[in-house]
């Protein structure tokens, strides 16, 4: 995995984990569960977007690096000499 994709995913995971912990701490101190729940939802949503964006960066770099078109990797080569022939009958 390249450094850019890893860094973006690391920031995403950090946002998910620390955002959730921070939101719970704020909710406990303020005594307001709605604020804590909103903070958890926002931090998990943004963190998940960053993790997915990092995965997209990784996959695009892998495709460019290997110069593989997605359709080319899914099509099996067809060889005209491999066609099955009926066995010859012997009397």
pLDDT tens-digit profile of 38-89? 888 888 888 888 888 888 888 888 877 776 555 555 556 565 555 555 566 6
Asked if the structure places residue 70 within a domain, the reply is: no
Residue 87 is predicted with a pLDDT of 61
Asked if the structure places residue 86 within a domain, the reply is: no
Asked if the structure places residue 72 within a domain, the reply is: no
Asked if the structure places residue 8 within a domain, the reply is: yes
Residue 78 is predicted with a pLDDT of 60
Residue 50 to residue 16: CA distance in whole angstroms: 10
Asked if the structure places residue 78 within a domain, the reply is: no
Q: What letter would DSSP give residue 83?
A: -
Q: Band of the pLDDT at 27, cuts 50, 70, 90?
A: confident
**Cα 76 versus chain centre, distance:** 26
Domain that holds residue 20: 3-65
Residue 10 has pLDDT above 80, yes or no: yes
Residue 90 is predicted with a pLDDT of 65
Give the orientation angle of helix 3-30 with respect to helix 33-66, to 10 degrees: 180
Asked if the structure places residue 71 within a domain, the reply is: no
Count of domains forming the chain: 1
Residue 9 has pLDDT above 70, yes or no: yes
Residue 55 is predicted with a pLDDT of 87
Contact 26, 36 (CB under 8 A): yes
Asked if the structure places residue 73 within a domain, the reply is: no
């Amino acid at each position: 995995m390249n450094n850019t994709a890893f860094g973006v995913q690391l920031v995403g995971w950090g946002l998910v984990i620390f955002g959730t912990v921070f939101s719970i701490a704020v909710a406990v101190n303020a005594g307001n569960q709605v604020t804590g729940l909103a903070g958890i939802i926002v931090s998990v949503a943004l963190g998940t977007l960053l993790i997915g964006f990092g995965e997209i960066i990784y996959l695009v770099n892998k495709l460019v690096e290997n110069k593989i078109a997605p359709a080319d990797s899914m099509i099996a080569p067809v060889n005209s000499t491999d066609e099955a022939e009926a066995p010859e009958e012997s009397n």
